[in-house]
Structure 1
Amino acid sequence: MTTFNPQVPASAGAQGANIVGVGMGDGPGPDVMAASTLDGNKVMSSDGEHVGKISDIMLDVRGGRIAYAVLSTGGFLGMGDTLHAIPWSALTLDTDDRCFVLDASADRIKNAPGFDKDNWPLMADTQWGTAVHEYYNRPPYWSATRGAVEERDVDSDL
């Protein structure tokens, strides 16, 4: 069992996922990767338990950011899976073990609010999104860049 020991402080990836390890492949990655490359990657809890896999990466199309990773837990061959929206900033890509590590214990993840493939929440709803981010002790992704966007807008008026 591998215990998560981040080499980069959580605050360093306030807007995005942290990256640890020395694993560098040919071509793109690990800093810039195709979202489809990450689908199916296993996810480990902070206490070293395999808790599921990434089934989707959700984009904030208007904001140009990654909104959430969708974690699929349980089930068999896609049947009976529970899905969980995970703030992107709560994940660390471990290039050595080729997985994501979620900054939460296995029990916390198992008790997280979830949904099924036929009943997705309205992910653009900021009240729902705020609750998800609070559950994982992360600031909402849309607030992390608000200052930079507002600052850029003011500068463009000059």
Structure 2
Amino acid sequence: MTRVQPEPPEERPPHGASIVGGIDRDSPGPGPFVMAADTLEGNKVVDPAGDDIGTIDHIMIDVLGGRVAYAVLAMGGFLGIGEKLFALPWSALTLDTRRKCFVLGVERDRLKAAPGFDKDHWPSMADSQWATSIHQYYGISPYWEADRYDPWDERRR
């Protein structure tokens, strides 16, 4: 198990992931503020102690709201067999650009007890009760409340 020294986030934005590490605002190209989703998939996720807990398997987009809703964490298993998946609210993560990983502010034991799913049995992410419960579990305000945007408001469709 690889151990990475944790680093506290500089400041939690109203919604979205935090960024820590060497941020060069003048560097050419994308990142770390705007990045291709597929460059984040496969990134390591560590707990507050710096221990590996899994990798980012998918980035889930709220199409109507135009923002990242969740990162799907893959934990355990071997070559995709027997792994458990977890929908993590995007704002629960901190991107560490120096160490090239995400930090999740949840201990491994709490994550193991979190509501999860497997690759063949995904939850209905469009269910507002499910979405609210996931955010509550991780102690994060739902992303749609940050600017009063509600993805389940029928008037917006």
- Coarse TM-score class (shorter-chain normalised): 0.7 to 0.9
Q: Decide which structure has greater helix share.
A: 1
Cα drift, residue 65 of structure 1: 1.3
Cα drift, residue 23 of structure 1: 5.6
Indicate which of 118, 121, 133 corresponds to 1:119. Answer: 121
Q: Could you say which residue in structure 1 is the equivalent of 2:74?
A: 72
What residue identity is the alignment partner of 1:14?
A: P
Gaps of 5+ in 1: 148-158
Supply the distance in 1 between the matched residues of 2:23 and 2:10 (Cα, whole angstroms).
15
Cα drift, residue 118 of structure 1: 0.4
Give the secondary structure class of the aligned counterpart of 1:58: strand
Q: Could you say which residue in structure 2 is the equivalent of 1:128?
A: 130
Indicate the larger mover: 78-87 or 19-28: 19-28
Query: CA-atom RMSD, angstroms?
Result: 1.5
Instruction: State the percentage of identical aligned residues.
Output: 57
> CA 1:53/1:95 → structure 2, altered by over 3 Å: closer, same or farther?
same
Supply the distance in 2 between the matched residues of 1:108 and 1:3 (Cα, whole angstroms).
20
Supply the distance in 2 between the matched residues of 1:50 and 1:14 (Cα, whole angstroms).
27
User: After TM superposition, which residue ranges in structure 1, 4 or more long, deviate above 4 angstroms?
Assistant: 23-26
Q: Could you say which residue in structure 1 is the equivalent of 2:45?
A: 43
Gaps of 5+ in 2: 150-157
State TM-score, norm by structure 2: 0.87
Supply the distance in 2 between the matched residues of 1:141 and 1:14 (Cα, whole angstroms).
8
Give the secondary structure class of the aligned counterpart of 2:136: helix
Cα drift, residue 49 of structure 1: 1.4
State TM-score, norm by structure 1: 0.86
Indicate the larger mover: 24-33 or 44-53: 24-33
What residue identity is the alignment partner of 2:46?
A: M
Q: Could you say which residue in structure 2 is the equivalent of 1:152?
A: none
Supply the distance in 1 between the matched residues of 2:102 and 2:140 (Cα, whole angstroms).
17
Contact 2:44 2:102 in 1 (8 A): yes
The reply to whether residue 19 of structure 1 matches residue 25 of structure 2 is: no
Give the secondary structure class of the aligned counterpart of 1:112: coil
Provide, for residues 70-108 of structure 1, a one-character-per-residue CA deviation record: whole Å limited to 9, x for no partner. Answer: 000000011111000000000000011100000111111
Supply the distance in 1 between the matched residues of 2:121 and 2:41 (Cα, whole angstroms).
20
Give the secondary structure class of the aligned counterpart of 2:139: coil
What residue identity is the alignment partner of 1:44?
A: V
What residue identity is the alignment partner of 2:60?
A: M
Supply the distance in 2 between the matched residues of 1:64 and 1:52 (Cα, whole angstroms).
26
Q: Could you say which residue in structure 2 is the equivalent of 1:103?
A: 105
Number of aligned positions between the proteins: 145
Supply the distance in 1 between the matched residues of 2:9 and 2:140 (Cα, whole angstroms).
19
Supply the distance in 2 between the matched residues of 1:93 and 1:7 (Cα, whole angstroms).
9
